């Protein structure tokens, strides 16, 4: 046999084996594997979920998984929305599912079927006739639950981040494309009032060309993360061990990514990430262990550094900065800063600020900007959202919009490519930090479709008819 033919047959054999055991197809396609390129269909797109309008669902039947921190509030908000039927409630602990029934009985709604235990969520998805699975569990469960839901014919909506590894990001993308089921990451900050205002101002050219944008999640959670009665089995504190990077990027990243049309005309190209040392979590563990032996299990652990800063360059030459700090006693901030060729906006520190030609907008003019440029969704359900609640109303606006899109067969505001690209900063920041802040490429989960994908539609065209129970 000639050497080239022998090499070809050898590669073919390796490739066939790779397909049989489900390895990435770069073994078949001759591509060089990298840490960021896992995808059985890399280079090929099954179906473009950006702008995809699934068939209309008159009454959206929902099953909830996770009723500890975030889940009960979501059940309560959804109970206000007409066209929703809450069919099932699931939590690891049975009592939590039972407790969540009050949101239904208080409104005279039928009780939901209860599921619990380690595999209760699978049983719920298998048995119940659901249109949407709403996931509010610990982070590591988001991808397997969303994938299982889509594979069983349900749309998936998951709390943030949607995935913790590049492989899981690709799993979400490929499952959504294959099943043509939505996978929405519940990034509620995209629906906050100032973020919506500045997105629409950007869309109308008020800020000119956006050159630079910043976002963050700065929130002192030191006490809550170490609290025994906080997160179940202290899972969130454990996520901070042996991981040095940005564990929670999407609250700050999501809104500015939409302003920069990421995945819809631009894409995040590469990034670098740097983290401070840990000056607090290890010390907190040692301090608590002096009085309580329970905390000795955390003494000597390698905790994540307190402040992480990630900078991103886009394909169109824009820059982004995203920060993460959940330990220092710094006032809460998501930053939300946009710097354009004609204007500047910044949300934190409060009050919200907008400037044109180096001059800050006065209060009266700020009100006029809100009245003029708040997008239709804010004018439609913003005040109702404030009354129902959820982080000042943005949670309810997000939930209402999700249901209205599903009922009217409209594309979702956040699709699976957003879920993957915003979440991938978690593992990539860790990778960059571990290499002395080396540059890391960001995968293109749209596989080139970002060049032609249309910008996010800020109208209610074809929707807006989903009513709210008073």
Per residue in 193-203, pLDDT tens? 999 999 999 99
Q: pTM for the whole thing? A: 0.91
Confidence band, pLDDT 50/70/90 cuts, at residue 46: confident
Structure-token pair, residue 298: 């955390």
Strand ranges for 181-250 from DSSP E: 183-185, 210-218
Question: What are the chain's domains?
Answer: 189-375+418-451 (3.30.360.10)
- Look at residue 29 and tell me whether its pLDDT is greater than 50: no
What does the DSSP assignment read for 339-393? EESSEEEE-SSSSPEEEETTEEPPHHHHHHHHHHHS-HHHHHHHHHHHHH-SGGG
In sequence order, the 6+-apart residues with CB closer than 8 A to the CB of 349 are 331, 333
Confidence band, pLDDT 50/70/90 cuts, at residue 40: low
- Look at residue 415 and tell me whether its pLDDT is greater than 60: yes
Q: What is the pLDDT of residues 213-244, one digit of tens each?
A: 999 999 999 999 999 999 999 999 999 999 99
Q: What is the pLDDT of residues 428-459, one digit of tens each?
A: 999 999 999 999 999 999 999 999 999 999 99
Q: How many residues does the chain have?
A: 470
Asked if residues 338 and 213 have their Cβ atoms less than 8 Å apart, the reply is: yes
DSSP state of 266: B
The pLDDT assigned to 44 comes to 67
The pLDDT assigned to 6 comes to 39
Mean pLDDT of the chain: 92
């Amino acid at each position: 046999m000639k050497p080239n033919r022998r090499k070809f047959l050898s590669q073919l054999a390796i490739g066939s084996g790779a397909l049989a055991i489900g390895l990435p197809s770069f073994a078949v396609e001759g591509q060089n594997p990298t840490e960021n390129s896992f995808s059985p269909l890399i280079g090929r797109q099954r179906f473009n979920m950006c702008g995809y309008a699934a068939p209309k669902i008159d009454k959206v039947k929902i099953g909830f998984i996770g009723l500890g921190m975030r889940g009960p509030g979501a059940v309560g908000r959804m109970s206000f929305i007409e066209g929703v039927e809450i069919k099932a409630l699931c939590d690891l602990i049975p009592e939590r599912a039972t407790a969540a029934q009050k949101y239904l009985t208080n409104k005279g709604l039928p009780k939901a079927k209860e599921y619990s235990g380690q595999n209760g969520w699978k049983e719920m998805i298998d048995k119940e006739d659901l249109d949407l699975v709403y996931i509010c569990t610990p982070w590591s469960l988001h991808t397997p639950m969303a994938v299982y839901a889509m594979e069983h014919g349900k749309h998936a909506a998951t709390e943030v981040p949607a995935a913790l590894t590049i492989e899981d990001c690709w799993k979400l993308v490929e499952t959504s494309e294959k099943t043509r089921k939505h996978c929405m990451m519940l990034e509620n900050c995209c629906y906050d009032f100032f973020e919506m205002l500045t997105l629409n101002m950007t869309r109308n050219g008020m800020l000119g060309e956006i050159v630079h944008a910043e976002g963050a999640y700065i929130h002192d959670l030191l006490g809550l993360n170490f609290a025994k009665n906080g997160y179940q089995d202290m899972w969130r504190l454990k996520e901070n061990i042996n991981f040095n990077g940005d564990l929670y990027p999407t609250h700050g990243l999501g809104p500015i990514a939409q302003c920069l049309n990421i995945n819809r005309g631009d894409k995040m190209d590469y990034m670098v990430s740097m983290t401070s040392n840990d000056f607090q979590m290890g010390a907190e563990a040692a301090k608590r262990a002096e009085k309580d032996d329970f905390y000795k299990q955390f003494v000597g652990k390698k905790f994540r550094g307190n402040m992480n800063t990630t900078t991103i360059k886009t394909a169109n030459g824009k820059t982004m900065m995203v920060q993460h700090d959940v330990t220092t006693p710094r006032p809460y901030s998501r930053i939300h800063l946009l710097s354009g060729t004609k204007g500047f906006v910044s949300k934190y520190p409060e009050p919200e600020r907008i400037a044109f030609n180096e001059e800050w907008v006065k209060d009266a003019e700020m009100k006029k900007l809100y009245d003029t440029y708040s997008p239709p969704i804010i004018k439609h359900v913003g005040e109702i959202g404030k009354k129902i609640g959820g982080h000042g109303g943005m949670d309810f606006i997000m939930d209402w919009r999700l249901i209205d899109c599903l009922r009217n067969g409209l594309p979702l505001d956040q699709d699976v490519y957003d879920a993957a690209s915003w979440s991938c900063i978690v593992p990539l920041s860790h990778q960059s930090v571990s290499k002395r802040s080396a540059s890391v490429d960001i995968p293109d989960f749209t596989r080139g479709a970002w060049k032609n994908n249309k910008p996010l539609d800020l109208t209610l065209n074809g929707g807006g008819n989903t009513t709210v129970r008073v």
